[in-house]
Structure 1
């Protein structure tokens, strides 16, 4: 199932035929600018994805930051990645904590299929900048401009559909 427009932003997931009830074994990824982001073929547990998406969905509409939004894409990615995920101290660490920059990180954390990816979303007045890449692989940073709220709408729909699957399987396992 694909929700959204893969040439802009979409979420793709599918449930395995033998999905182990509420564990929801399956596959999950994002599509950003026509590129698959996440190791879809490896598979994952969709119930964990659902739980990890909760905080991203809750941050919907809270990702505006004019100063960060004005940075070039590679610099935006570098600053957010260094402050949130860097192994070296970053001059932005304290500011990132004070201003809650974690809200800009829109990969489900601790989900194996996204281990090598970083995806950040920063809203401006009428647009949203989605910057992504693999910092360990030396990939170049890519960027897709979305309408403000576009990412949040797609992600919320995917979240709701995953939640319906999870609730259905919980009911089945209790029967």
Structure 2
């Protein structure tokens, strides 16, 4: 299933089918962890290892944190920088240890973590970093794949990213609301 538009921003995902003859315990496990595949599409470029697959429940658990950051991505100064400079300004503040004091690390996280635009802790996205920077008229989705080492950029409409994330979460809640019984209990 694809939500959004590959032309700008989309989430592609599918749920793995329950194998024929699966035990009730295995079915309960699958309904809780919801194994499947997911990736983002930005400007017709895939972000995430769709074929790796993983638990869609893990992605759904982190995606609300991306929505909570709505309103914290407005940065006119960063929006004027080149894609590479803006990406590295955010990335370096969040992830590069330059020997800065703990207070600076906390302040940098507070200032820059709102730009994170990829689910954390979901294996399919482990080889990527992505940030969303908003200005008055546009949002810039900036991403890098570690293997490639090149910063990419796509221009999105303000709110487009959040709308697609919310659409996935609404789908997830609608179809799997009653299947979250923990199989380990």
Q: State the alpha-carbon separation in 2 of the partners of residues 73 and 25 from structure 1.
A: 34
1:9 corresponds to 2:3: no
- Of 157, 160, 167, the residue aligned with 1:147 is 157
Contact 1:25 1:44 in 2 (8 A): yes
| 1:81-101, Cα deviation, whole Å (9 max, x unpaired) | 112123x328784652342x1
The structure with the larger Rg is 2
TM-score (norm 1): 0.88
Structure 2: runs of 5 or more not aligned: 19-26
Give aligned pairs, total.
169
Query: What's the counterpart of residue 137 of structure 1?
Result: 147
Q: State the alpha-carbon separation in 1 of the partners of residues 138 and 99 from structure 2.
A: 27
- Of 78, 85, 88, the residue aligned with 1:75 is 85
Structure 1: runs of 5 or more not aligned: none
Residue 41 (structure 1) shift: 0.4
Which deviates more from structure 2 when the two are superposed, residues 113-122 or residues 11-20? 11-20
Q: State the alpha-carbon separation in 2 of the partners of residues 90 and 33 from structure 1.
A: 37
Residue 45 (structure 1) shift: 0.2
Residue 142 (structure 1) shift: 0.7
- What pairs with 1:1-175 in structure 2 (closer than 5 Å)? 1-18=1-18, 20-86=30-96, 88-89=97-98, 93=105, 95-99=107-111, 101-134=112-145, 136-170=146-180
Secondary structure of 1:36's partner?
Answer: strand
